[in-house]
Structures are given as C-alpha cells and as structure tokens.
Chain A
Amino acid sequence: MSGRTNQLPFDLFRVPVLGRLLRWRHSRTALQIPTLMVAIAMIVHGLFGPTLAPKNLATTVSWVHFRGALVLVLLCAGNLFCLACPFMLVRQWARRWFRPRLTWPRALRNKWLSAGLFALILFAYELFDLWSSPWWTSWLIVAYFAGVLAIDGLFKHAVFCKWVCPIGQFNFVASALSPLEVKVRDEGVCTSCRTKDCIRGRRDGSGLVSIQRGCELALFQPAKVGNMDCTFCLECVQACPHDNVGILSRPPASELMSDPRRSGIGYFSRRPDLAALTLVFTFGALLNAFGMVSPVYTLESWMARAMHVSHEAPVLGAIFIFALVVEPVFLLGAAAWLTRVWAGSRRGILATIVRYAYGLVPMGFGMWLAHYSFHFLTGMLTLVPVVQNAVSPWLGEPLWRWTGLPTRFVQPLEFGFLALGLMGSLMVMHRLAEGEEGAHPARAFVPWAAVCLLLFAASVWLILQPMEMRATFMG
C-alpha cells in the first residue's frame, strides 16, 4: 500500500448523493442532454429571435453566463464543462453510424493548431463583434458542432478535444488552477493491476465488441499528472475494475511547479507548443479585456491613420501580432536572457522561455476570472428576462430591470482575482527557479517576478479603464 492512504485527500465521489450521481454510468450523458438542449435553444433563438444582443439567448448565454460560470467553476472545482460538453454528445450519437477510420496526422499531434485557433477565435470575437451579434454567435455554435462531427467523424479517438478544440484548450490550461483532479486513489493498486482498463478499455468475451472505453485522450491514470488534456469524461472511473479512480483534491497550480513525465503529454519543458498555448492564454486574457476599454479605440484610430487603412482587420491584426507574439517574445526573451546572465543558467533562451512560461498561467487565469466574472456577476439576472422574452407570454412580462450585482461590489472581487493570480504566478516562478537554477534561484526568480508584476500592473490598469463596447472604431 502506498503512504497516501494515511492522508486521504477529499474525494468528490465520497460526497453523499453527488458522488453517487457522478459515478453513475450515464452521468455524463445526463449532464450533456441539458447542455445540448440549451445549445439548440441558443442556436434557434440566435437565428430567428431578436437581433438585439441583450435580448437574445445566444449572445446572453454565450458571452455573459457561459464564460462567467466556466471560469468560476474552473476556479472552485475543475473542468466540469468538458464533462458536460454538448458537442461530445452529438459526436457520440454520430459515431453509432460513422466509424472513424483515420489516424490524426503525427505532424498535428501538438498544440500549435489549437493555440492558433484559440487566437483566431479571440480575433474573430473582436473583428466581427460576436458579442453584439446573435446571428454570428449562433453560427459559431453551429460551426463548432460541424467541426466536431467532421473531425471526430473521420479520425479515431478524441482528436477534436485533444488537438483542436479552443474551448477545451482554455479549460485544460485554466484547470491547472483547479482544486480537483481525476486521479488514482492508491498507486499500489495500479502497480498490481494487469488489465490497465483505464487506458485500454474493456471488451466483451469475444474480444470484438468494446463495452467500455478507456481514456480517449491517451492519459494513463497511474502516470497522469495534473489536469492537462483531461476532459473529466470519467471513462477511466467507469473502466477501472478496482474502483481506484476518484476526483481528488490537490493544491491548485501544483502541477505547474514540477516537471515530471506526464502520460499523454511528456515533459512540459520539452513542449514549446504547450508553452505557446499558455502564452496565448495569458496574453490573450489581457488582449481580450483591452478590446473592451476606451483606449483601444483611440489606439485603433491612430493606427488606422498611420497605416492609411479604413478597415479594422489590418489594424486589429497588428494589435494581435504585437500582443500575442512581439510582447511575449520581448518580455520572456528578456527574462530568459537575464536568467542566463544573472543566474548562470546553461539552458538556451528558448528552452528557458518554455520552462518558465507555465508560471504565467495563474496571472492569465486571474485576468480571465476578473473579466468574465465581472460580466457574469453584473449581468447574471439578465437571463431571467431573456428567457421570459424567448418563451413569452407564458412567463409573464419580461423583467428587463433585472441585471445583477452593482459594479462597486464586483470591482473589489476583480482586484482580488488579479492579486490571487499574481500570488500564484510568483509562487510557481519561485518554485521553478528553485528547481531549475540550484545555484542562484533568487537571481533567476527576479526577472520572472518582474514579468509577473508588469502583467499585474497592466491588468490593474485595464480593470480601472472605463468600459466602452463599440462595434466600430472609426467613429
């Protein structure tokens, strides 16, 4: 027996009622059916309902409630959205008729594509003002369903989740800060296990028919570390013949502080694609918030004049390239160079950037939390009149005055999230410096702490800016 049994962590499966529900064989489907119904309602209302975004389910649920609930659930629990993902339910039904035959190309088995798609969605959000368009928002959801069906209809395993889905990648990175993880309870049990059902799945007596899937994302439970690439699908829980997989508590961000070999992932320090994804996550958080404050329009207008263009795309493109490429390369490049010079690190600049990039995830998550929880908390009650309006007249006159918490109550919470993110990033950076630069950890820590403080200052500045949501910038 391993020593872990002496200090049993909290296990969500041990919670009365909830634990039983989650361990139920059809729990995922039971969670996916309501989210699928909501997604269908959003598509229909977005295409055929009111054209005004605040009155439409597609825009209100997508850009106020879903995003806000997503980050708060990631903070308080884990990657539960992927568990209840409606796209995967449709994919499961479709796979009854279409058996995928192809294998995802080796060249695409990395996060470069998904990091690019993540950045592309952020770009499209600003360029097409998705937040103000129920029609475009609906088509985005439809495109998501189509993308899942096309990719997972052709390619075996959970290719869309692991290598493509931008929402999934957001969840994978953010869930590094979650307090819960799907994990083996007792490593000793896994050592003596001969069948490895958690990864292989189970077949019937003939060996021809699969009766239980193993992990489709190639995460072998005994060697799985952290939440990266885990969709909380709970297939491993169902597959384990020893009832040895739980949803266990752990210190948030702990998975960012060390660099063991991770099943299905390898070493973080050897994954520049994964590091790039975390940088899009972190710098994208600031960029996404920057798109909603007054100074962005002044900057865009100035750039449009300087570039002699009248269309937003090239201006926005230049801002995106600066924020997601130039700025991270400059800041992290400088920090990596200083780490070499001051701490005498022998690692190359790029390798140093890759190693420390993960330390910025808490800061990025703090900014996403501050931004999305603001919209969620100040606008959470708007769901009531929007639903009333959608199914009117059965639910009475819509209560349009219902909104949410006043801004003055939410803003301190935003600063709290930013401070939490800064603290988390400083802790991770310190641990990384201790682990990587044994001789001079303090000297290695200083430049990375400076990067964290700079991002924190930029985030605070963004939160203090007056919000201005415009679909045009030339006005």
Chain B
Amino acid sequence: MPTIKFTYALKRYFPALKDEAAEGNTLDEVLREMETRYPGMRSYILDEQGSLRKHVNIFIDGAMITDRMRLSDPFGGKSEIYIMQALSGG
C-alpha cells in the first residue's frame, strides 16, 4: 500500500490528519479512501470535476504528477504520495 503524506497547511482544516497507508490503485481511489477517513478533504484537493486544484501539487516518490486533469500518474505499492500546497498569493 502506498503511503500518503500531507502538507502541514491542510492540518489547519483537518487537525487529525497524519501520514498513513491507503488502499487504491489510482490517485483518485486513494483520495476517495482519504475522503472516508477525513470527510470533506477531497474537495480541498480536487475541484468538482475531479481535477487537481490549481494551487495543490501531488508528488509521487518525489516527482510532481503530470496529469492534473485525470490523475492518471502511476505509482507502486511502496510509493510515497505527497499532497502539498503550491505557493501562491501573498
């Protein structure tokens, strides 16, 4: 199972958030599982069409994903998936 790691910025809205393993063969499945653990969290990361929000980045084993629309970037059972905020605004 891949390990999911979250930006500290999301802990403001989901204080119980911690790095943990998650079931799922696609990023979308992983995020749906996270949604069951932290209700409402998926909408912080994806928009209503399922695309990655503009100011959120996801890294798989250190590399930024390339498919922000359909989240099709592959990962393995030992992958580390980082959900990070982009640095926007001021």
Does B bind A? no
B interface with A by C-beta (< 8 Å): none
Q: Which residues of A contact B (CB under 8 A)?
A: none
